[in-house]
Amino acid sequence: MADGMLDPRSIQAITREVKRMILAILAAALVGAFGLLGLLWASSPGTPRPILGSDGQPVPGSLSEKVFVEVNGVRQGMIIKSRDPSNPVLLYLHGGMPETFLAPRYPTGLEDVFTVVWWEQRGAGLSYRDDVPQETITVEQLIADTLSVTDYLRSRFGQDKVYLMAHSGGTFIGIQAAARAPEKYLAYIGMAQMSNQLESEVLAYDFMLASFRDDGNSAMVRKLEAAPVTITGGVPADYLAVRDAAMHSLGVGTTHAMHSVITGILLPSLAFPEYTMAEKLNLWRGKAKSGVSVVWETSLATDLSQTLTELALPVYIFGGIYDYTCSTELAREYFEKLRAPAKGFYTFERSAHSPLFEEPDLALKILREDVLAESTRLADAE
């Protein structure tokens, strides 16, 4: 046998050993996958957790339920929470995806003051349906759905008017619903209020490009430079592909402290016990479609500061100073143009896109002392 050569028996032995190692690795991976699947299944009972008292027991008379109702021909879902169902109703409109699953990680306390309704809109989360064409999910349809859900809640809870709180993309729908039927609402609360979203995206693009250049992140600079966002050129698909990750890495996304979509959004959604496995899947199926939706295109083509400048009900706007998802600067400019019986703008100094989740104590204080009291005492000085 020449030096450095192996005999056939040695080669066969090595081959068998390699095969055993590969099979062992595959078996371990399979066991791990089944373990993760089992863990995910166990964390997906789909039943809303009860409202608990200081003794750790469910509060007598409290409400915590998942409800499905027919809304303009489509079965839609919502989770309702209230320590006392006689409290004022607050209908919450989410943005690009439902945020119900974030409440355990970022307790808002809303259920202590309101009967809070986390409605998941047509095409999203609990209301996702394969048989509803994406092109039928329009701004007009979502406004109509909002008014129908409002009427359902007014009737169910015996309240003539409810509060309407909207976040991010939900503000584009919510403020138009409030303007169309002010008689149904006690007040409109906009968090991360949309106004001119195309201009907001330009501001975000310019900020991120400058920040990544300063940080020496050449990879992200190349991606952004290859997909410029401009007023005339619009918002390229290649920009949208990196937008969320870029914003979160700079602390100007969902929250100022959230730097990863995976750990900050995906994992909490999978761990949320009030969704079933199918509902968790539908949450992300809906999210995948919302970025190319008719609603998104309509919001980019609309400047609310030109089309909607008067509301016949009190208006309260919450803005985080680090928010570049929906520019707080533009929201303030829009607020200054708005005419309303009462209005207040509230700047959150430690927040990005989600003041309610990032600074819940301050948000709840404003809701208690200003919104419920029909006051603007805590608002920013004009």
Check residue 176 and give its pLDDT: 98
Task: Tell how far CA 140 is from the center of its chain.
Answer: 20
Residues 6+ apart with CB under 8 A from 160: 154
Q: How confident is the model at residue 290 (pLDDT cuts 50, 70, 90)?
A: confident
Q: Is residue 249 part of a domain?
A: no
61-65: average pLDDT: 97
What is the average pLDDT across 76-91?
A: 98
Question: What does the pLDDT read at residue 288?
Answer: 87
In the structure, what pLDDT confidence band is assigned to residue 37 with cuts at 50, 70 and 90?
A: low
- Could you tell me if residue 179 is inside a domain? yes
- Domain of 190, in residue numbers: 63-195+301-371
Across the chain, mean pLDDT equals 91
The mean pLDDT of 129-134, rounded to a whole number, is: 90
Residue 346 lies in a domain: yes
Q: Is position 175 within any domain?
A: yes
What DSSP line would sit under 170-219, residue for residue?
Answer: HHHHHHHHHHH-GGGEEEEEEES--SBHHHHHHHHHHHHHHHHHHHT-HH
Q: 191: domain CATH number? A: 3.40.50.1820
- Count of residues for the chain? 382
Residues 6+ apart with CB under 8 A from 144: 72
| 89 within some domain | yes
In the prediction, which pLDDT does 343 show?
97
Asked if residue 29 has pLDDT above 70, the reply is no
Q: Is it the case that residue 39 has pLDDT exceeding 50?
A: yes
Which of 16-25, 126-135, 150-159, 240-249 has the weakest average pLDDT?
16-25
Confidence of residue 1 (pLDDT cuts 50, 70, 90): very low
What residue has token string 């099979």? 23
Q: How many domains does the chain have?
A: 1
Q: Is the pLDDT of residue 7 over 80?
A: no
Indicate the range of 21-30, 67-76, 87-96, 146-155 predicted with least confidence.
21-30
Q: Out of 6-10, 32-36, 266-270, 290-294, give the one with best mean pLDDT.
A: 266-270
Q: What angle do CA 311, 354, 366 make, to 5 degrees?
A: 60
Residue 275 near residue 44, CB atoms below 8 Å: yes
Q: How far apart are the C-alpha atoms of 276 and 237, rounded to whole Å?
A: 32
pLDDT in tens, 352-367: 999 999 999 999 999 9
283, 121 Cβ separation under 8 angstroms:
no
- Tens digit of pLDDT for each residue in 331-345? 999 999 999 999 999
Computed from CA positions of residues 241, 279, 69, 132, in that sequence, does the dihedral angle turn out positive or negative? positive
Give pLDDT tens digits for 193-252: 999 999 999 999 999 999 999 999 999 999 999 999 999 999 999 999 999 999 999 999
Quick check: 330 pLDDT over 90? yes
Most confident region among 9-23, 31-45, 305-319 by mean pLDDT? 305-319
Flag whether 165 is in a domain: yes
Confidence of residue 112 (pLDDT cuts 50, 70, 90): very high
pLDDT at site 291:
66
Whether residue 140 is predicted with pLDDT greater than 50 in this model: the reply is: yes
pLDDT at 341: 97
Band the pLDDT of 124: cuts 50, 70, 90: very high
pLDDT at 289: 83
Residue 308 placed within a domain: yes
Determine, yes or no, domain membership for 38: no
Calpha distance 380→157 (Å, rounded): 34
Residue 3 has pLDDT above 90, yes or no: no
